[in-house]
Amino acid sequence: MARKTKAAPKKARTKKISTGSSFITRIVIVVLLLFLAVFSVYANYLDKVIRNKFDGKRWSIPAIVYARPLELYPGLLLDPQMLEEELQIGGYRKDQKAIDPGGYDRRGNIVHLVTREFHFPDGVEKSVSVAVSFADHRVVAINRMETGENIPLVRLDPARIGSFHPREHEDRILLTRDKLPDLLVKTLIAVEDQHFYTHFGVDPVAIFRAIFVNLRAGQTVQGGSTLTQQLVKNFFLNNERTLWRKINEAIMAVLLEMHYSKDEILTAYANEIFLGQDGGRAVHGFGLASQFYFRRDVEDLSPAQVAMLVGMIKGPSYYDPRRHQERCLKRRQVVLEVMRAENVISEAEYQTARAAKLDSADTIMSGFNRYPAFLDLVRRQLDRDYREEDLTGDGLKILTTLDPQVQLKTEKNLAATLSALEKSTGRKELEGAVVITSRDGGEILALAGGRNPLQPGFNRALDARRPIGSLVKPAVYLAALADGYTLATPVDDTAITISAPGSKKWQPANFDKTEHGRVPLYEALANSYNLATVRVGMDVGVEKVIGCVRRLGVEQDFSPYPSFLLGTAPLAPIEVAQMYQTFAAGGFYVPQRAISSVLTADNKVVKRFGLSVEQRFPANSIFLLNNALKRVVSEGTAHSLSRYISNDIGVAGKTGTSDDLRDSWFAGFTGDRLGVVWVGRDDNKPTRLTGSGGAMVVWGRIMQSLPIQPLELTEPEGIEWAHVNLGNHQSFGDLFGDRNLLPFIAGTVPQQMATAPRPLPQDSPVETLRKTGTGLWDRIRSWFH
């Protein structure tokens, strides 16, 4: 009986243990089921995140801004150095021998280049290999390199000059799978993920291998992430080093592989991978990186260049070739050895790539947005037609009118001349702004918002409204010509006092504090006489002058104060340029434009910004005025422009100076270009510079550095010429020249003057002989000048 009573507790304990383990099992099962439920819900959530982003618009592509395309043809004013400079701006690379698209070489006066294919609004311009020959600062021949065939015209792909970025400030050139070269794909897989085509998003073998290698090394020297995991980290997650992020990365990698093909994942990776920094712009993808580091399309990369880019994946900043060349070379060597070991390249290719030097820092295209002032103007013009998200997300292609050669010369000469003026005047902190346009079409060729072209911020060309001084006077005299005046009408340059109710008496004065008596109207303009201008303006009416300014293209309202006649109204350089554009275009209002056309990312034309013309002034009145503006340069306040520009060019222009020498202005045009320059200080303190001593010097040096055409004014119908009796102002030499020969609208020649034949053309044999100063006649004339 005793043994039986002892056996009962053991059985009870067994039952208790069995009951307890069963309870724990149930708990574990419940927990597992709950975990699976939660995991399923969470995985489903991650799956939606992946599909929503990956199926939709994967990237916000910035709008790309291009300069005007350079068109080469025999007879073009251009020299080899200028072409080289433009090719460099356009991202072309200098090779030993030009073979691939985007490459060029120069041998004396012959430049060999291979253009890049580009989609223009009027169609595709295919790549072509050409030899461009030069002589006497002109293109003399263009020949196809393969056959020697003469080519009448070659249009180069335009330089990429900027982009409008989304908020992330990322930039990329999207590539499709067929655009990824085999060399890049094989290298990428050999170095980053050798089992890419066999794993399911996560590679357990690579993970265990990495753990083993890292434990042996005592530090992290190898990663186990697949290309899919790297894409998930870059595209969906962040770089924080936490276990939770790694778990998410693994789950999302598996989900990504379930829905998308290997080619889709590989293409997305090639477009997403971060490969460097360009100021505030992140360089993403192999497409943009190949342009940024090598000025090549990705399909043209050499094995050494592919190795460098793939090597940089491990650490774009750490292996940056601009700052850490030795590190970059060592990393490239590691990749090249892997490429050889995996038979991606041959032994001969390996040896060639190993010996290749890194591209210089000059080759790297740092700063696509190197024209912030011009891009500011483009952005403002686009804002009228497009939404912000269209400009920063849809990859629009914006073709502009910017001429890289003109822009380069403008920036260089503005900065250099301001520095020289600071030394000569003792004034520091001088600033300036320049607008250069085509004379006939109104295309803005160059724009400088300050002396430092790379510094964004206050754009003086667009926003610095300052008193324009005597630049307003041509409008005063144009209104007078429309009111019955002629260029020979005598006007009094004598003291005048103007009274207005409720204001002080106004007594203007000439710049030289001298009265010049009675002078012909053209002379008052040429010498910028204030007193004569005020008298003419008051006679015509200030309201009429204001109306004239508005018809010239200035869209502002002005108060009709008499001081308006001397340029107290503030205008920005871009507004002055529009005003003088109407003079230069012969009385036609031509809206200035910085954009020629806009294309979608797939090269469909969205909009063309064509030439718009409206006649606002009679051609004969403008012809008279422009003749007077030519006299401003030949014999008036701008006569010293001849130090920089030959008188044979026949520039028409006007100087301007505001009160206390605070603002220095010059506006002028040649046969093909119009330019407006402002020089002053941001604090509005005096500069000690007149229009001719400051802005005109900048203008002269810019135009001196460019090929320019002589200004030949087209004479309209109904013009007569007559000799003017200059009285006390006439010298003996004038009897043998054209200084006293003036144009008149037919029927307005004063009775006491005799009509005369029109002046000879600039290029006529007689006129050329008279100007060359080679004969007795010219020596006699020179005695009296």
| C-alpha distances in Å from residue 145, one per residue of 133, 152, 577 | 12, 14, 43
Report the candidate in 659, 657, 680, 656 with the shortest Cα–Cα distance to residue 667. 656
Q: How far apart are CA 702 and CA 468, in angstroms?
A: 21
Q: How far apart are CA 87 and CA 84, in angstroms?
A: 5
DSSP string, 140-161: EEEEETTT--B-S-EEPPPPEE
Q: How far apart are CA 602 and CA 640, in angstroms?
A: 52
> What are the beta bridge partners of residue 719?
745
Instruction: Give the burial string for 762-785 (b: 16+ CB within 10 Å, else e).
Output: eeeeeeeebeeeeeeeeeebeeee
Q: How far apart are CA 401 and CA 381, in angstroms?
A: 13
Tokens matching residue 551: 């018809």
Q: How far apart are CA 244 and CA 236, in angstroms?
A: 14
3-state secondary structure string across 34-61: HHHHHHHHHHHHHHHHHHHHHHCCCCCE
| 3-state DSSP assignment of residue 163 | strand
> What are the beta bridge partners of residue 133?
110, 141
The reply to whether 470 belongs to the active site is: yes
Instruction: Give the burial string for 144-174 (b: 16+ CB within 10 Å, else e).
Output: eeeeeeebeebbbbbbbbbbbbbeeebbbbb
Catalytic-role residue among 470, 597, 621, 634: 470
Catalytic-role residue among 86, 163, 170, 192: 192
Determine which helix (DSSP H) or strand (DSSP E) holds 576, and give its type and residue range.
helix 573-584
86 Cα distance to chain centroid? 13
- Confirm if 638 and 653 have CB atoms less than 8 A apart: yes
| C-alpha distances in Å from residue 160, one per residue of 66, 153, 166, 512 | 4, 22, 18, 50
- Angle at Cα 303 formed by Cα 300 and Cα 308, nearest 5°? 100
- Angle at Cα 111 formed by Cα 110 and Cα 114, nearest 5°? 145
Which positions are annotated as active-site residues? 192, 470
